[in-house]
Chain A
Amino acid sequence: MTTPVSGDVPVLQTASSLTVLTLSTYQSLQALPFGGGSTSLGPLRDLIAAALDELARARTDLADATRAAGGRVQQAPNPRYAPVVAQALPTVRGPGDVVGLALTLEDVLAQTLVRDVVDLAAPSVRRTVTGHAAAAARRKALLLTLQALLSSGGAALVAVPPDLGALPPGVGTVGFPDVLFPTEKASPSTEGAV
């Protein structure tokens, strides 16, 4: 999968730490009645389920790349954001809070992976990480869209398929606010190093 490049190890470990944290946070959110339970909104429930699958693949790919580069796999959650999540989870009271917390983590994860594409030396790993950055960006777009719907019209607008005639026009663009994906929130490459 990868050409071993030892300098890539801390980059991959930090990306792993964010992936582990985001994955475990989605698992916690899925366990909530309004996250993945009986009272959850269909699109949000589906998004959480998809995120769990995609992040599990990302964790595996990043671990494989870390080993191939000669490093130890980072299996712990990101040390900077784990306390933030621990503080936020007990305050989650409804779908808007679920979306808000997931969005915070997805944005940091996606921005970090985008920055990593430029920093990584192993070409095949760059390609793999770009794919996971795109997946995180997809989830960010959907979370931004759900956030806009929940704040503008409440749960009635969150449906599959959506009632296009009822959606505010701004919902059509809220999912892609930047021409180029930003990186100013990217975690430093040593933040999650083992």
Chain B
Amino acid sequence: MAGLPRRGFLLGLGALAGAAAVAACSNEAPAGPPAPGGPPAGTTTPTTTTAAPTYTGEAALVALGAALSALAGDLLGQAAAGAGQGRYGAVPGVVTAYLSGSAAQHVAHADAWNRVLTAAGQPAVDGSPLSIEPALRARLGAALAPVDLLGLAADVTGTVAATVTAMTDRLTGPSALSLAAGVAPVAAMHGATAGFLLGRPPTAPADPTAGALGPDALTV
């Protein structure tokens, strides 16, 4: 898969980082609450596409990164929005801030993965077409309390970190590899923060790729 010229790509990432860092420092959710009469948080219908593209080779890895980051961003953003609406009882501000901030960064990661795809002449991933999506949305829909939201966040961000870490031995394009190198540690930081808020031990996983998804998790 052809990559972007490295200098231009990194400059683009710099602008991306600045914009999303502002979002991460805000206590506002990255997406507004659902419209009145809309579906409750956690019950969003999975995105469907027509004439869905098929990704192969390295493009499939990049598409996996895009879809998984998009899913994490959407789930955590929905959780933050639901918390703001009182859906999970009294949610401490630190939890809402965590959900909003991490969601914004995952959304930014999805955008960056998609830029790598489109720069190589591939279509961007629409939504989060992943085999794990229905179960995770159901889990969010069943959440009752802040601890459920943090547990979901810890698991999802752990999956992102493991998946992106695992793909670094197969990526060859400099743009995709640079992005993976920058994303995996940040996803790990999301997981560490969720673990801290849950009172879990600070231990990193002995196998940093345990639970990683492969391209076969894509449903397009």
**Contacts A50-B202, A176-B24, A179-B186 given: A169-B93 contact, CB under 8 Å?**
yes
**Contacts A164-B146, A170-B97 given: A50-B204 contact, CB under 8 Å?**
yes
Which residues of chain B are within 8 angstroms of A115 by Cβ–Cβ distance? 181
CA distance A50 to B195 in the complex (A): 14
Tell me if A86 counts as interface (CB < 8 A to partner B).
Answer: no
Tell me if B128 counts as interface (CB < 8 A to partner A).
Answer: no
**Contacts A117-B181, A173-B24, A175-B189 given: A131-B209 contact, CB under 8 Å?**
yes
- Among the stretches B15-23, B31-39, B115-123, B130-138, the one at the interface with A is B15-23
Task: Tell me, rounded to whole Å, the shortest Cβ–Cβ distance linking A178 to chain B.
Answer: 6
Tell me if B159 counts as interface (CB < 8 A to partner A).
Answer: no
User: Nearest residue in B to A160 (C-beta to C-beta)?
Assistant: B199
Contact between B20 and A179 (Cβ–Cβ < 8 Å)?
A: yes
Which residues of chain A are within 8 angstroms of B191 by Cβ–Cβ distance? 138
Tell me if B102 counts as interface (CB < 8 A to partner A).
Answer: yes
Task: Tell me, rounded to whole Å, the shortest Cβ–Cβ distance linking B194 to chain A.
Answer: 9
Contact between B92 and A164 (Cβ–Cβ < 8 Å)?
A: yes
Which residues of chain A are within 8 angstroms of B189 by Cβ–Cβ distance? 137-138, 140-141, 175-176
Which residues of chain A are within 8 angstroms of B105 by Cβ–Cβ distance? 176, 179
Which residues of chain B are within 8 angstroms of A57 by Cβ–Cβ distance? 206
Interface size on B, residues (CB 8 A): 61
Task: Tell me, rounded to whole Å, the shortest Cβ–Cβ distance linking B29 to chain A.
Answer: 13
Tell me if A161 counts as interface (CB < 8 A to partner B).
Answer: yes
User: Nearest residue in B to A125 (C-beta to C-beta)?
Assistant: B169
**Contacts A118-B174, A142-B196, A171-B94 given: A180-B101 contact, CB under 8 Å?**
no
CA distance A126 to B25 in the complex (A): 31
Q: Among the interface residues A132, A138, A161, which one has the most CB atoms of the partner chain B within 10 A?
A: A138
Q: Which of B167-207 contact A (CB under 8 A)?
A: 168-170, 174, 177-193, 196-199, 201-204, 206-207
Which residues of chain B are within 8 angstroms of A53 by Cβ–Cβ distance? 203
Tell me if A43 counts as interface (CB < 8 A to partner B).
Answer: yes
Within 8 Å by CB of A135, from B96, B164, B188, B196, lies B188
Size category of the A interface is 35 or more
Tell me if A73 counts as interface (CB < 8 A to partner B).
Answer: no
**Contacts A117-B177, A131-B165, A161-B199 given: A180-B92 contact, CB under 8 Å?**
no
Tell me if A81 counts as interface (CB < 8 A to partner B).
Answer: no
Within 8 Å by CB of A175, from B20, B95, B146, B196, lies B196
Query: In terms of DSSP, what is the predominant structure of the interface of chain A?
Result: helix
Contact between B180 and A117 (Cβ–Cβ < 8 Å)?
A: yes
Contact between A180 and B179 (Cβ–Cβ < 8 Å)?
A: yes
Q: Among the interface residues B101, B109, B189, which one has the most CB atoms of the partner chain A within 10 A?
A: B189
Contacts A/B (CB < 8 Å), 30 sampled: A53-B203, A118-B177, A118-B181, A123-B169, A123-B170, A130-B165, A130-B181, A130-B208, A131-B207, A136-B185, A137-B185, A141-B190, A141-B192, A142-B202, A145-B196, A165-B92, A169-B27, A172-B96, A172-B99, A172-B197, A173-B25, A173-B100, A176-B24, A176-B102, A179-B16, A179-B17, A179-B20, A179-B109, A179-B186, A180-B112
Give the interface of B toward A (CB within 8 A). Answer: 13, 16-17, 20-21, 24-25, 27, 92-102, 105, 108-109, 112, 146, 161, 164-166, 168-170, 174, 177-193, 196-199, 201-204, 206-209
Given contacts A134-B165, A139-B202, A145-B193, 20 further A-B contacts (CB under 8 A): A50-B201, A50-B204, A118-B178, A124-B169, A130-B165, A130-B181, A130-B208, A131-B165, A131-B209, A138-B189, A138-B192, A141-B193, A160-B199, A168-B93, A172-B93, A175-B192, A179-B17, A179-B109, A181-B183, A183-B182
